[in-house]
Amino acid sequence: MNKKLFWPLTRSIGILLLSYQAVFAVGLPEEKRLSFTIAAAPWNMTLPAKSFEVVERKVKRDGSGAYFYLTDEQSHLNVSFYIEPVSQCTSSKKCRDMIWKGGNPAWENPQNVVSAELGDISYVEFLEPSVGGLPIKQQNMYAEFVVNGFWVDLHISKVLYKAEDHNLFADLVNSIKFEPKKTKTS
């Protein structure tokens, strides 16, 4: 190879590699997350903020549990969940099985029922072709988390569901984190 071409090419590649290193050293911007907890839980449950809006937040008078309801106008997901101390079920799988066995009077003709796991998280999902006689094609997923003595019963739903929407459900479940609460120091 011609030395006159080799050295400028080597220098250009070196500069290019250094600029890539600078980009990775700076890192990507930190993802904005929404945080939820109850007083007794040792963690905050977080999920990506994206375009979620917290529509409802109810905390039991004694602070032992809470209910949250979120909507996302872009993805058309509805997300609700309870945070409570573990009592009747002690694992993700046991909680999922309890939810499914207990049923819900609002469920109308569940179809395509799948009971499975995403990593360590057990879930049950099904399609309701209609609700109250309206053809809404609502997909439902109940994902169950048991962390440090507390249970999160997460419900995700989407109307006018299509098979390609399934990644929205799985991605949300996989994005949930339980971060230890920061302790106050003097």
- Secondary element (H or E) of residue 166: helix 166-175
- With beta carbons less than 8 A apart as the criterion, state whether 155 and 165 touch: no
Distances (CA, A) of 48 to 23, 38, 128, 176: 23, 19, 27, 8
Q: Whole-prediction pTM value?
A: 0.81
- Tens of each residue's pLDDT in the chain, 186 residues: 555 544 444 444 444 333 344 344 455 567 899 999 999 999 999 999 999 999 999 999 999 999 999 999 999 999 999 999 998 899 999 999 999 999 998 898 899 999 999 999 999 999 999 988 889 999 999 999 999 999 999 999 999 999 999 999 999 999 999 999 987 654
By C-alpha distance, which of 152, 148, 149 is closest to 122? 152
